[in-house]
Chains A and B, each alone.
Chain A
Amino acid sequence: MFKHIQMSQYGDHMYLIQLVAILALSFSSSLALAYDLSINSFGSIVGGEILTGNPDANTGNVQGPLYVADYTNGSVYTKKQPLIRPESRVGLQATASDIISGLSAVVQGIVRADPGQANLEWAYLSYQANAKITVQAGRKRIPIFFYSEFQDVGFAYAWVRPPGELYGWDVTNYDGGMIRYQDRFGPVSLNSSLFAGAGFNPKARNFKLWYPYDVTIEWNNIRGADAELNYDWLTTRFLLLRSTNRYNAADGQDQGWSDYGLIAGHDTKQDIMGWALNTDFGHFFTLGEVNLALHYGGPTSYRSFSSSIGAGYRIGKWSPLVNYSKYRETGTSPDYNAWHYDCVGLTLRYDVTDNSDFKLQYNKLRDMSAAGPFLGNTQMLSASYDFSI
C-alpha cells in the first residue's frame, strides 16, 4: 500500500517506543489480549492557482510568482497554473483501546501527494491513569498552535488551510512524553498538558523554500505546557514551549545562515508563546490566535510575531468566513532580512455530507518586507474537498 515508510532516525530509544506502539496494535488473539480496534481516516483533495503574483519574488530557492500554502511541509504553488499536488493528502489512524485496562495504542500515517510518499506521523501509547489524568509516550505532533495536532484534518476547521502566517514551523512531531490533565470546574472545562521530548526533521522540506541543499533540523530539550479552557461559547488556549535547536546542512553548505540567526551545528535557543481565543454562538463564530517566537543564542537573534483573526456565520450547510492574518520578523542585526506580510482570506464552506465538505477560498497576500519581495503581492484561489471517516 505504501510506496515508502519514513521512520524516525532520532535515537534508538525513541525508535523503540514507536515500535512498541506498533507492536501493541498488531497483537494477535493468540496472546489472549482483547482490545477494541478502531480505524479512522481523513483526507483532503486540495487544488489552487495563483491568479496574480510577482515574478521578481524569491524566497531564496523558489522564484515567483509563488504562494506558500504550508511552510511546515514546504507546500508551495508556483506559476499561474492550477496545481493539486502541493497540499493533497490522506491519513489513516488506528487506535487499539483497552489493550490492558486503561492502555491504548495509536498509530497514524499520512500520504502526501507532494512528495508522494507515506510518513509515519504518530505512534504512541496512552495510559488513562484515572478519569482526569492520561499519560502518553511515543511520537506525537508538537502542539504549538491551536490547530497543530489536527492541521492535516481539513474537515475539522473552517478554512481550506490554517493561515500560513501562523502555521509553519521547522519540526512537526516529537518523540517524548505527555501528561494530560482534564477536569471541570462548574461550567468551565479544562484540558491541559505538560510535554517534553525531542524532534527531528531530516531533509527539512520547509528549508527547501530558502536553500537548494538538504538541511536537517533538531529540536532538542523540548519542554512545554498548554491549557485549554472551554465555557459554553468560549474556548481559549495558552501555550509555552522552549527548545534548543540545531541545524546542519549537507556537506557543510551553511553559507548565508547567519542572517537567519544560525550557525551550522551550533545550538540556538527558542521560546514560543501562544494564545488562541475562539467563540461559537451557534451561527456566528470567531477564530483568533497570536504567537510570539523568540530565537536567540545564535549570531543574530530575531523574533517573529504572527496573528490571525477571522469571523464566520453558519447558514444551514453553508459557512462563509473572512480572515485576516499577519507575520512579522524583527532582528537584532541592522542588516537582518526580516519578513513582513499579511493576508486577507475569504472562504466559503459547504457541508456536503455529515463527514465531508467542499470549500472555496480566495487569498490576497501583501508582501511588506523591506528587503523583499520574498513572496510578492499575490492573489490565490483554492478549493478543497475534505472528509473524515
Chain B
Amino acid sequence: MNFCSLILTNGRIYIVNSLHSSFIAALAVLLSLLSISVPAVADDIAIIANSKFPLSTISAEDVSNLYLGKVRELTGAGVVKVVDQSASSAIKGQFAQKVLNKTLSQLNAYWSVRIFTGRGVPPVGLSDERTTKEWIANNPEGIGYVLAKNVDKSVKVLLIVP
C-alpha cells in the first residue's frame, strides 16, 4: 500500500504519493516553517473573585494547582470553582505561561492526559473578560482572571501576576 502523508501547514494541505518523497517534503516544509512570533503583551494579570469570596489573597501556587485540577479546595475557602478564558483569547496564553508555566500546546497535552484518563476535565472557558466578571458576580465560591487594567469595582483582586 502506497503511503500517503497528509500534512497540514499554513492552512494548506499537501498530499504526496511516496514515503521517501513525503518524508523529504515533510522535512523541507518543517524546516521552512517560520514560527510566527506574536509580540508578548506585557500586561499584568489579575486573579479575581466575588467580594464574598472567603479569602482576601491567594498564592500563585494555589492558583496554578486549582487551574491544573491538582486541588479542588483551599484552606479557609472550601471547594473553589475556577473559570478559564477561551482558547482564542490573547490573555489565556499569557495566563498559561505566567501562572501555569506552560505553553498552550503543553497545557492542551496536559489536559489531554487528564481527560482521556478520566482524572478530570479542564475548567470552562468563557468568551471574554466581561463574561468572566459576570460569572464571578454569580459565583461567590469561584475565581477567574482578567487583565489587571480591566479590573473594576465589581470584583475583588486576590493576586496580581506581573
Contacts and interface: CB of A to CB of B under 8 A. Distances in A.
A385 B7 contact: yes
Interface string B3-19: 11111110000000011
B4 A84 contact: yes
Interface stretch (B39-47, B66-74, B128-136, B142-150): B66-74
Contacts of A84: 1, 3-4
Contacts of A42: 112, 116
Nearest to A384: B5
Interface in B73-112: 73, 79, 87, 101, 103-105, 108-109, 112
Contacts of B116: 40, 42, 91, 93, 108, 149-150, 152-153, 156
Interface residues of B, number: 40
B26 A360 contact: yes
Nearest to A49: B19
A11 interface: no
B138 interface: no
A256 interface: no
A360 B112 contact: no
A82 B70 contact: no
Contacts of A191: 119
B121 interface: yes
Contact of B112 (A45, A140, A150): A150
Contacts of A82: 1-3, 18-19
Contacts of A352: 8-9
Given A82-B2, A184-B70, A352-B8, A317 B105 contact: yes
Contact of A83 (B3, B6, B104): B3
B117 A316 contact: no
A317 B116 CA distance: 23
A180 interface: yes
A239 B38 CA distance: 43
Contact of A106 (B1, B5, B73, B118): B118
Contacts of B79: 131
B58 interface: no
Contact of B1 (A85, A131, A182, A230): A85
Contacts of B30: 350, 358
Considering the complex of A and B, which 10 residue pairs feature the smallest CB-CB distances, nearest first?
A82-B3, A82-B19, A149-B117, A354-B104, A131-B72, A388-B112, A351-B105, A156-B112, A131-B73, A150-B116
Interface of A: 38, 40, 42, 45, 47, 49, 81-85, 91, 93, 95, 97, 106, 108, 122, 124, 126, 131, 136, 140-141, 143, 149-150, 152-153, 155-157, 180, 182, 184, 187, 189, 191, 230, 282, 316-317, 350-358, 360, 381, 383, 385, 388
13 contacts: A47-B5, A95-B115, A150-B116, A155-B112, A180-B119, A352-B8, A352-B9, A354-B105, A354-B108, A360-B26, A383-B5, A383-B23, A383-B26
